[in-house]
Homo-oligomer: A and B are copies of this chain.
Amino acid sequence: MARRVNWGDCDPAGIIYTPRAVDYVVETVEAWYHEVLGTSSAKLNIEEQTGRPTVRFEIDFISALPVDSQIVCELRLERVGRTSLTVQVTAHDGKDKIYFRASMVSCLVEKPAFKPKEFPAEMRERIEAYQAACGDG
C-alpha cells in the first residue's frame, strides 16, 4: 500500500505523530483483508457476527518520517495460528530505508461472547496462499 505522509498526519515537529503511524498500519491490514482475504471488518462483524479484535500491537520507529514522504506499507505474515494471526507491516521508502515496523496480533472471535473461533477453510486457504507467495510459508 503506497501513500504520501499527509500534512495532518504530522505534528509540529514536522514528522509523523505516533498514533497516525498506527493508523497507517491498521489501514494497511484492513486493505489486505479486502484485497487478499476478500472480506472486511464490516462483513465479519455485521454480516457474520464475528470479529477480529486486536490482541497486541507493537511498533518500532527506525527513522524519522517527515511530511510529504512517499512510503510503502508492506504486509508479511509473521505467524498463522488456529484462531489468531500475527501480521508485520513495514513502512519503507520503496528502496532500503525503513521508517517503522509494526507487528499486530488479532484473533478471530465469535460474538457476542468474544470466544476464539478457528479460521474458516476459505479464509485459511487465502492466508496460506499469501504466505506462500511471500516466501514465508
A residues within 8 Å of B by Cβ?
4, 6-8, 10-15, 17-20, 22-23, 26-27, 30-31, 34, 40-43, 45-46, 51, 53-61, 64, 67-68, 104, 111, 114
A42 near B12: Cβ-Cβ < 8 Å: yes
A26 near B8: Cβ-Cβ < 8 Å: yes
Copies in the complex: 4
Q: 11 other contacts beyond A8-B30, A56-B59, A57-B59, with CB at 8 A cut-off?
A: A4-B31, A7-B30, A8-B18, A11-B12, A13-B41, A15-B53, A18-B57, A19-B19, A19-B23, A53-B64, A55-B60
A55 to chain B: closest residue by CB: B61
A18 to chain B: closest residue by CB: B54
A22 proximity list for chain B (CB < 8 A): 18-19, 22, 57
B13 near A11: Cβ-Cβ < 8 Å: no
A12 near B64: Cβ-Cβ < 8 Å: no
Knowing A34-B4, A42-B68, say if A19 contacts B10 (CB, 8 Å).
no
A64 proximity list for chain B (CB < 8 A): 53, 114
A6 near B27: Cβ-Cβ < 8 Å: yes
A31 to chain B: closest residue by CB: B4
- With both chains docked as a complex, state the minimum distance between the C-beta of A13 and any C-beta of chain B, in angstroms: 5
